[in-house]
Each structure stands twice: as C-alpha cells, then as structure tokens.
Amino acid sequence: MKHLLKLLDLSAEEIIGLLDLADKLKYEKKHNIPHPILSGQTLGMIFQKSSTRTRVSFEVGMYQLGGQALFLSSRDLQIGRGEPVEDTARVLSRYLDGIMIRTFAQQEVEAFAQHGSIPIINALTDFAHPCQVLADLQTIREYHKTLEGKKLCFIGDGNNMANSLIVGGLKTGMKVSVVTPKAYAPDPVIMEFAKAYPGFEWTQDPMQGAADADILYTDVWASMGQESEQKIREEAFAGFQINKTVMSVAHAGAIVLHCLPAHRGEEISADVLEEHANEIFDEAENRLHAQKAVMVTLMKK
C-alpha cells in the first residue's frame, strides 16, 4: 500500500489493518500515551474544496504524530494558475513527506500519485471519499462489534460517499443497500464492482432498502460544486429522507451515520439526527484516528 487513492485499490486485509491501527491510536490518545511516529515529517494539504473536518483532523492528527501539516490552498499555488499537476507533484515531492488532496476530479489525485515520489492521500474527490469511509467502518465496529454480516443502507445521492461505502462495506463482509433516484445512481464502475457481491442491492424505494438495516447512512443532496442544482435536487430527492418512518423498518438498535454537514429537514429529519447524535459525532471524531492510521501506514520510515 503506497497511496490511498480509493478503496478499490485496497484488499480487505489492508482495510481491516487500517481499522485495527486506528483503534490502537485512538486508545493511546484517550489514555495520554504519546505516539510521535512521524516526528520531523511534513504533510502538505492541498485544498480545492472547503473543509471543516478534513483540514482540522489531518492537521491535528499530524501534530499528534509528532510531525507538522502545511495548508496549501489552490488559490495560493501555481496549480491554481494553470501549472500542470505533473509539475506540481514533482516539485512538492522534493519538499514534503506526504501529500493530502481534497479536490474535484479523481484523475487529479491519480496524476499526483503517478508523477510524485511520496505517498498521496485522497481526502475527497467527486468519485471517492476513502478517509471518511474508514472512519465510518471504525464507528460501525465500535457500535456493532463486527462488520461481518451487518447491513448498511445508504439513502441519498449516488456520489462519492455511496461509491466508497459500497466498496468498503462489501470488501469487509457487510451487506450494502443503496437507495437513490434513478438518475442519481452510483458510478457505473462501482455498480460493476458490486455485481460480484450477492449482499448488494440498489433500489429507488427507501423502505425496501432500509428493511432490516443495522446502519442507516445519508449525505447532503447537493454537494460542493452543485449548489446551482439545489432546487432541482430538492425535487429529485423528495422522499429520500432518513426519518422515523424509514427507521421503523430497520433493526432495533440500528445506528445512524452522516458524514456532515447535515441539512435537517432535507436528507435527515431533525429528530432522528438528534436521537443519533452520539453516533454521528463519534463518526466525526474517528476521522482523526482513521486518518492518523493512514498517515502512519503510508509515511512511517
């Protein structure tokens, strides 16, 4: 494992290994056991999309590991003025020990990995969000003690979150149902991948998808860069909300996850979000621990 570009690239054993390491680092942090594993190293953080959880968790995580993080807005880099990604990757590889990128096109992080000489971490593209899903899987294990055989139901846009949950869930032995409007299905590459797993289901019926689910998951209807589609999407996704009615067909004890930010009254009702706030904010905290596991795995020398 040289980079983390998408979960499709990882084996089930590599995913479980990252989760085990994340649990260990979380335990050590909770018990004030220092772990300066990346002392003296620097992570460059390139942001072409805004962020709350990604920036803070990576920056704090790098600090806790004994290294430092360098915030690099695309507005301040030459890449924002047209410098080829290939050149930026080769230059930054000579200064840094790892690069984290939060951007639009998956091809951009793939190009960084191809032309750079240091580990590259995908911190979100329009295709994949592997760091978020590692934190999600860690949270599910904390609440349900296992991933094997548990049913995860995602309701919403078949975007980067749905794509990555399908891959991460199925590879680790979960059943995965995805509920989207017909025009907002997951990426064809992911749908083709999922065909090999009998535990996968895609439907347009939230009640069917949520039946007997152990985990309900949703995301905003209009992601960053799609703000102009807000009204169109509100109409397309009407009825695709996690609420008490949908929860009534899930397993007793089912948890609810949301990658945040949440829009109460749209993809999730306010009462369900507040009832499951502990799970959702444990999930947000686990971004820190899961990403530290990724950085240690990729950058430890």
pLDDT tens over the chain, length 301 residues = 899 999 999 999 999 999 999 999 999 999 999 999 999 999 999 998 888 899 999 999 999 999 999 999 877 787 767 788 889 999 999 999 999 999 999 999 999 999 999 999 999 999 999 999 999 999 999 999 999 999 999 999 999 999 999 999 999 999 999 999 999 999 999 999 999 999 999 999 999 999 999 999 999 998 777 778 888 999 999 999 999 999 999 999 999 999 999 999 999 999 999 999 999 999 999 999 999 999 999 999 9
- Give the CA diameter of the chain: 55
Selecting among 219, 233, 289, 291, the annotated active-site residue is 219
In this predicted structure, what is the pLDDT of residue 1?
83
Return d(Cα 256, Cα 273) in angstroms, integer.
8
The strand order across the sheet containing 98-102 reads 68-73, 42-47, 98-102, 120-122
Selecting among 3, 53, 129, 258, the annotated active-site residue is 129
Q: 132 an active-site residue? A: yes
Q: 219 an active-site residue? A: yes
Long-range contacts of 192-196 (CB under 8 A, 24+ apart): 193/8, 193/166, 193/167, 194/166, 194/170
CA separation (Å) from 252 to 211, 214, 256? 11, 8, 12
Enter the pTM of the model. 0.96
- Under 8 Å between Cβ of 123 and 5: no
Q: 102 an active-site residue? A: yes
DSSP bridge partners of 100? 45, 121
Selecting among 102, 141, 233, 258, the annotated active-site residue is 102
Return d(Cα 35, Cα 29) in angstroms, integer.
8
Q: 107 an active-site residue? A: no
Q: Are strands 151-155 and 175-179 parallel, antiparallel or unpaired?
A: parallel
DSSP bridge partners of 296? none
Distance from the first to the final alpha carbon of the chain:
14
- Under 8 Å between Cβ of 213 and 187: no
**Who's near 103: CB < 8 A, 6+ residues apart?**
46, 48, 49, 74, 109, 124, 125
Nearest Cα neighbor of 7 from 224, 155, 176 is: 176
SS3 of 217, please? Answer: strand
The DSSP 8-state label assigned to residue 186 in this structure reads P
Q: 153 an active-site residue? A: no
Selecting among 258, 259, 276, 289, the annotated active-site residue is 259
Q: 75 an active-site residue? A: no
Selecting among 132, 138, 241, 291, the annotated active-site residue is 132
- Under 8 Å between Cβ of 187 and 167: no
Return d(Cα 109, Cα 122) in angstroms, integer.
6
SS3 of 50, please? Answer: coil
Selecting among 53, 141, 287, 289, the annotated active-site residue is 287
